[in-house]
Structure 1
Amino acid sequence: MGIRKHVALGLVSALALGALAGCGSTSSTSSASSGAAQSSGNQQLQIFSWWTGVASSKALKALIGVFNQEYPHIQVINEAVAGGAGSNAKAVLASRMEAGNPPGTFQVHAGNGSLLSWIQAGDMAPLNSLYQSQGWYHDFPKSLLNMLTVNGKIYAVPVDMQRANVLWYNPKIFNQYHLTPPTTFNQFFADAAVLQSHGITPLALANHGNWETTLLYSDVLLGTVGPKEYTALLDGKASWNSPGVVTATNTFLHMMQYTNSDYEALHWQQADQMVAQGQAAMNVMGDWAQGYFTTDLHLTPGTGFGWAPTPGTQGTFAMVSDVFGLPAKLSNPTPTLDFLKVLGSLKGQDTFNPLKGTFSPRLDADKSLYDAYSQSAMNSFKKDTLVLVIGQGGANPGFTQAFENAMVSLVSSHNVNQFISAVQSAAAANPL
């Protein structure tokens, strides 16, 4: 079996439906009405995602353009839902799935998160025949396909690959103060002290969606305990009360002392903008930030922004992959299957990913289409140890929600023992 089986199934719908109260009603109304058109069996296809930013929207539009060239008789309806780094979209999706009105296909993350929940709930149809007909078993890394497989059945098609353990930095600032990207936490704190003494925020942070601090913590944990213990923690095979977790939590709180005070009000792009404009020197974010730097801000990799693995994570690739599948309750699955063929194709992926700032996980992807950053990430993906990410598909929805709640308390109270106790309880209540 690829994906681990123990997931609190009821939690994904309950949490998402609870979050729905915070969303506007426009998206759900639009989805319901267009869902009727999909279920009537005509040639329409709803693509449901949270890709509403400039880079991701441009990439999706280009991908749809490739699809329209091959299947001009199918009308594509873009059902993207903005806000919450996907939490709003997941809420709307849960409502639609509960009502028996699935979109044609929808975005989820590879791994132990929401994809597995939908599979175990019986809401996804297997795609083995599609993989066989398209030759994809040889086109994608086996390690990635294992994360999409349950009991020998594969349920989704990966469209991109993203790295979550990236430290972005401002090259001009680093050159000015004769700094190098920190490879250890001791070096990070030494650099941070220098930067702070010159009135520069060492680490830009955003936490408007409450997932950003979880991402930062995940990287600190990975850099502290290493990939073996980190994966064991996410697998439920190691204790969250270990000395390494305690050390990582204290290191995380120490890093928080070098961040901007208004982080709760900022979206992740705003933290990246602080780095780009020289208001801050560093930012920890997934490499969707690269799409923002290049597409939104028109910066050149290497001069406009620099990058390095987060401290302590050299040789490890913390992966996030967006995947799409086939909802089991569609009355007409043909448009979805046609779209998935394009989504997983070399042409589709090499059109989509350079615009989004991500890269294709296909083994035959054309490196020449990608910039210096993406090429370096592609090289790391093929040789480094792969791990999943808390909050980005690395753990089931129940644990993830409880973990993020514990993070909120940690950031405000700085109570390490309380945080670890809460995470231990979350792991016990939501077996990993």
Structure 2
Amino acid sequence: MRRRISMLAGVAALGLTLAACGGGGETPAEDSNAQDASGNVGVFTWWADGSEKAGLDALVKVFGTDYPDVTFDNLAVAGGAGSQAKSVLAAQLKAGNPPDSFQAHAGAELQDYIDADQLEDLSSFYTDNDLTAQFPADLVDRLTVDGKIYSVPSNIHRANVVWANVEVLKKAGIDPEKPAEDLEGWFADMDKIKATGTIPLAVAGSWTQVQLFENILLASLGAEGYNGLWDGSTDWKGAEVTDAIKAYEKALSYTNTDRDSLSDWAPATQLVQDGAAAYNVMGDWAEAKFAQDGDKPGVDYVYFPTPGTEGVFDFLADSFTLPKGAPNPAGAKAWLTTIGSAEGQAAFNKVKGSIPANTTAKTDDFSEYQKSAIADFGQDTIVSSLAHGAAVPVAWLNDLSTAVSKFGGDKDIDTLQSSLGDIGEKFAK
């Protein structure tokens, strides 16, 4: 089945002051080869803590075996989805002070950097490493912009997943193995949970609320209507979007009152693990946290697509680039070689909770969830995540995030919808 992945090209932006982050010389990127790599390679990510850091560590271990003469410099900056890092990286790139490689989300986020001529073309790198034969053809197509490829995806994540505490559901009289089929049924289950005195739905601040909003949009509009929001074929000011915003307002009514004080995703997921909340809508990096903390699927927690989104895979991917002016382009290409390899992707994704973009990676020992995600990715309708940069460029996401955050306080449906409509008209093509 031909996969439908709505992507323009990888990656977002992150940041830190990047003085002397690489160890290369003056060799131009196009003349640099991974086999000649030495010195230090500075790699910028937001995988600074917890299960995400564990995934990075697993990848760095493979890199160290692949390239023992190259020293990995970890330039990680904390903040889920790169929320604390992107603006700083943008400034560093503009100032001509890039790292050797940086993490970002595959998709429309990268377009701003392509337009600014800040990234090297990796098309020949794909050819040299036979990546076009190892990655899904549609994925390569969507990574290609004007005949060129600018990033190497390290994984495939799913953003429309609900994680639920088994004991909390049973206490409320809800069968953990039979999730609601739509939002109406899910809200009815949350009413039951609320009656027990437990928080029905855990969420944090900033981007996690945008991710919840995108899930409600997807459940309310369906894949076609959701996709239409990004190309202008769905009217942001139409009645269907009004209904979706009302559903989002209701979803927020079930959430923890301290949501805006939780700066990242992990504390919200922890509420579910601790039994303080029933549900958390989160990407499948949460699977890695459950596993790292010793929780057992089916016993301690269950997972399922956000009600109303069964058969749809809300896609995002972490991807890596070679910025123009990288201090050590040969070292960067060595890093990208490990990123794209079957061995690197197997080691990284097993720990990260995601699934490999490289179809030759061995996944026999992956978790039950990951195997289900591999199957779903192969058969579901694929849409692009809003909160994680696959669907829209950075400027659009920033404006939309501001509007959604404001709504969390004032609950003004008309104002939010009007703002979203104006933003859509400004950016949609």
Instruction: From the superposition, tell whether residues 383 and 349 of structure 1 become closer, same or farther in structure 2 (CA, over 3 Å).
Output: same
How far apart in 1 are the matches of 2:417 and 2:174?
38
Amino acid at match of 1:151: D
Contact kept? 1:174, 1:281, Cα under 8 Å: yes
Question: Secondary structure, in 3 states, of the residue corresponding to 1:307?
Answer: strand
1:237 aligned partner: 233
In the TM superposition, residue 49 of structure 1 has moved relative to its aligned partner by: 0.6
Contact kept? 2:315, 2:383, Cα under 8 Å: yes
- Structure 2: 5+ residue stretches without partners: 1-5, 28-37
Moved more, 90-99 or 327-336: 327-336
Q: More helix by proportion, 1 or 2?
A: 1
Contact kept? 2:99, 2:327, Cα under 8 Å: no
In the TM superposition, residue 353 of structure 1 has moved relative to its aligned partner by: 0.8
Contact kept? 1:160, 1:321, Cα under 8 Å: yes
2:197 aligned partner: 199
The answer as to 2:148 corresponding to 1:161 is no
Match of 2:117 among 122, 147, 159: 122
The answer as to 2:185 corresponding to 1:187 is yes
- Structure 1: 5+ residue stretches without partners: 6-11, 21-26
How far apart in 2 are the matches of 1:323 and 1:85?
12
Contact kept? 2:7, 2:384, Cα under 8 Å: no
Amino acid at match of 1:149: T
Question: Secondary structure, in 3 states, of the residue corresponding to 1:202?
Answer: strand
How far apart in 1 are the matches of 2:8 and 2:357?
22
Match of 1:178 among 149, 174, 178: 174
Contact kept? 1:32, 1:96, Cα under 8 Å: no
2:402 aligned partner: 405
**What TM-score comes out, normalization by structure 1 length?**
0.90
Match of 2:19 among 23, 32, 43: 32
How far apart in 1 are the matches of 2:408 and 2:60?
41
2:242 aligned partner: 246
Moved more, 102-111 or 181-190: 181-190
In the TM superposition, residue 84 of structure 1 has moved relative to its aligned partner by: 5.3
1:346 aligned partner: 342
Instruction: From the superposition, tell whether residues 104 and 258 of structure 1 become closer, same or farther in structure 2 (CA, over 3 Å).
Output: same
Match of 2:424 among 396, 407, 427: 427
How far apart in 2 are the matches of 1:383 and 1:362?
17
How far apart in 2 are the matches of 1:38 and 1:273?
42
The answer as to 2:414 corresponding to 1:417 is yes
Amino acid at match of 1:293: F
**What TM-score comes out, normalization by structure 2 length?**
0.90
Deviations 1:183-242 (A, max 9, x none): 2111111111111111111111211xx111110010000011111111111223322112
Match of 1:377 among 373, 381, 388: 373
Contact kept? 1:82, 1:88, Cα under 8 Å: yes
Instruction: From the superposition, tell whether residues 343 and 118 of structure 1 become closer, same or farther in structure 2 (CA, over 3 Å).
Output: same
In the TM superposition, residue 263 of structure 1 has moved relative to its aligned partner by: 0.9
Deviations 1:251-310 (A, max 9, x none): 010111111111111232111111111111111111111111111x22122222110000
Contact kept? 2:160, 2:215, Cα under 8 Å: yes
How far apart in 1 are the matches of 2:141 and 2:388?
17
Deviations 1:36-95 (A, max 9, x none): x45667622111010012211122122111111121111110100113531222122112
1:8 aligned partner: none
Superposed counterparts of 1:31-430, under 5 Å = 31-34=18-21, 37-38=23-24, 43-83=39-79, 85-113=81-109, 115-176=110-171, 177-179=173-175, 180-207=178-205, 210-266=206-262, 267-295=264-292, 297-330=293-326, 332-393=328-389, 394-430=391-427
Question: Secondary structure, in 3 states, of the residue corresponding to 2:19?
Answer: helix
How far apart in 2 are the matches of 1:302 and 1:368?
20
Moved more, 77-86 or 309-318: 77-86
How far apart in 1 are the matches of 2:358 and 2:223?
24
Question: Secondary structure, in 3 states, of the residue corresponding to 1:409?
Answer: helix
Contact kept? 1:38, 1:104, Cα under 8 Å: no
Question: Secondary structure, in 3 states, of the residue corresponding to 2:84?
Answer: helix
Question: Secondary structure, in 3 states, of the residue corresponding to 2:48?
Answer: coil
Contact kept? 2:346, 2:363, Cα under 8 Å: no
Calculate percent identity across the aligned residue pairs: 33
1:23 aligned partner: none
In the TM superposition, residue 4 of structure 1 has moved relative to its aligned partner by: 5.2
Moved more, 329-338 or 316-325: 329-338
Runs of 4+ in structure 1 displaced over 6 angstroms?
none
In the TM superposition, residue 384 of structure 1 has moved relative to its aligned partner by: 0.6
How far apart in 1 are the matches of 2:54 and 2:265?
19
How far apart in 2 are the matches of 1:363 and 1:64?
21
Amino acid at match of 1:200: T
CA RMSD of aligned residues (A): 2.0
Amino acid at match of 1:153: K
Instruction: From the superposition, tell whether residues 255 and 331 of structure 1 become closer, same or farther in structure 2 (CA, over 3 Å).
Output: closer
Contact kept? 1:164, 1:319, Cα under 8 Å: yes
